[in-house]
Structure formats: C-alpha cells, structure tokens
Amino acid sequence: MRSLSIGSTGMLAQQLNVEVISNNIANMNTTAYQRRRAEFQDLLYQNQRRVGAESSDAATIVPAGVQVGLGVKTAAVYRITEQGNLTLTENPLDLAINGKGYFQITLPNGETAYSRAGAFQLDGQGDIVTVDGYTVQPGITVPNDAIDITINASGQVFASIEGQVAQQNLGQLELSRFPNEAGLLAVGDNLFLETPASGAAQTAVPGTEGYGAIQQGFLETSNVNVVEEITNLITAQRAYEMNSKVIETSDQMMATMTNLR
C-alpha cells in the first residue's frame, strides 16, 4: 500500500520541521541569530491515466487523468534574514548593524568569514577580536594607553589617549553584502562563509546606500518570535500525528485483508 510509504515520508518531514523549530527556540537568545524555516516539496507522481492523452480514435483528450502522489520531501531549510531588535549594553566594543551587512572576520586558516554578532573584545595585543579570538577586519589595534574607544555610525574607530586633546583615528570598519544572503553557509559560532549560491561579497563603508550603520554599545538580538515558533511547533506535532494515523489506518486495512476467509 502506497499510503504506508507516503505516511512515513510525512512523518520524516514533520520530524525535520520540529528539529528546525526547536533550533530556533534554542537560539532565541543568541546574538544576531536568524531563524530558519523548513521548505517542502511533493515527490514524483505515478500516472495511472496520463493527462492530455488521446482517449479515442476521434482524438478526444483526457482532461484530467489520474496521478497518485508518493509523499513529501525536504527541499530546503531557508534562513530568514529579517533584522532583530537592538539591545543597549553600553559596552564600547559591542557593535550592532542597523540595516544590511556583515562584519568581516579572519579565521585562523586565513579565510574570511562573515557575522552580524558584534560582541567584540580586545586580545592581549589590543586587537579587536571576536569572543573566539578571531580578528575583526581590517585588524584594528587599540593602544594600551587608550582611555576610551569611540566607533561612529560610519565604522571609524577612534581612541582617546591620555594627555591628548584630539582623538586618534585607529582605522575603518567595513561591511559586506551579498546578492543572496540566504545562500551563505552557516558554520556555527555565529559565522557564515561565502558560497556560489550567495554570490561574491560586496564591501563598503557602513552608512553607504544599501548598507547599515554601526550602533556602538548595542547588540542585535535574534529575530525569533517565540509565540510564532510555539504555534508552528503545535502545527508540526499535529501533522506528525495525522501522518502516523495514516500508517495506523493502512495497517488496519492490511490486517482486515489478511483476516479474510
């Protein structure tokens, strides 16, 4: 019976759906996390009577035909790039992007990764780094005698040096954008890598047209809506139960046939 395999594909699809939703809920407090959504497609169809076939010698055409579906499959887990809220932290090295764009991060292997999580710190040499110690491009170093750090909306980094009236310009942060942000490869630790699907990175100064501005002393929250996720979780659970009911009903029908005398 096809319904057994069809019901199993439905259960597997809803299991994945629950896993995606649970990951969203687990990361509801993760800085700059972008929620995911599972996308599904129907499987191939078996044609018992092909639509558009000739049904007689008079060239009459079958208007509908008979197609039997074979279930569902997972097409993609899509990342929704809607911006989260900005939360005030008053930490001078906490940076949020108000708009589009990603910070550029240099990985230990020399590869460039991208992130919207701006919870930065200073390492032992005074370089601005991520919580894992990865350098934030272009590699800005804060002097040891700096008493304050200012980062404006355009990404310029200034340090107030003791005994000096004028602030010292330490460097310029830049942001990257992609033609298809959903095509970035998530590698964990709030980092993404460029892929052929995302397109090449396009870099500009923050505040440029199409790019967000830097907000110092803020962090971007996740864009997870807990109420929506719980509602989706209930819907996925009910869909899972209905698919299991299909398998149970098919089993009962097969048992009925087996018991015929």
Q: With residue 251 as reference, give the H or E element that holds it.
A: helix 226-258
Average the pLDDT over each of 37-51, 102-116, 126-140, 170-184 and give the range with the smallest value: 37-51
Q: 182-186, 188-192, 196-200, 255-259: lowest mean pLDDT where?
A: 255-259
- Give pLDDT, residue 49: 81
- pLDDT, mean of residues 75-98: 93
> Closest Cα partner for 174 from 152, 204, 153?
204
Taking CB atoms within 8 Å and a gap of at least 24, the contacts of 141-146 are 141/170, 142/170, 143/168
DSSP code of residue 63: S
69 — pLDDT class (breaks 50, 70, 90): confident
261: confidence class by pLDDT, cuts 50, 70, 90:
low
Indicate the helix (H) or strand (E) that contains 21.
helix 2-26
State the average pLDDT over residues 173-186.
94
